[in-house]
Amino acid sequence: MAKGPQKEARLRRLREEILNYVATNPGCTASQIVAWLSIDLRMKNHGLTARKIGFFIPRHCKELVWRQDSSTGKRVYSNSV
């Protein structure tokens, strides 16, 4: 799969926005991140879903740690620092 400059820029922006959101809102879920990205930042053309964010974070945002919420069973993300 080709990796052009536009795709790299899109991935870099998505990564930075996720890291900024988790830094200001520790203990958030992937669905909260998607809602913020798609509604507040209007990144609707990215086709973001909670499942895609769940796969994106371990691959591209290694600074984030997650734990399993015991009551809901969802992953809750926070900064490792």
Quote the pLDDT of residue 45.
Answer: 74
Quote the pLDDT of residue 7.
Answer: 87
Number of domains the chain contains: 1
pLDDT in tens, 8-50: 998 999 999 999 999 999 999 999 999 999 988 888 777 899 9
CATH of the domain at 13: 1.10.10.10
Domain span at residue 46 reads 5-79
Residue 66: pLDDT over 70: yes
Claim: this prediction has a pTM higher than 0.85 = yes
The answer to whether 1 and 33 are in contact (CB under 8 A) is no
Quote the pLDDT of residue 15.
Answer: 95
Grade residue 79 by pLDDT with cuts at 50, 70 and 90: confident
Contacts of 17 (CB under 8 A, 6+ apart): 37, 41, 43
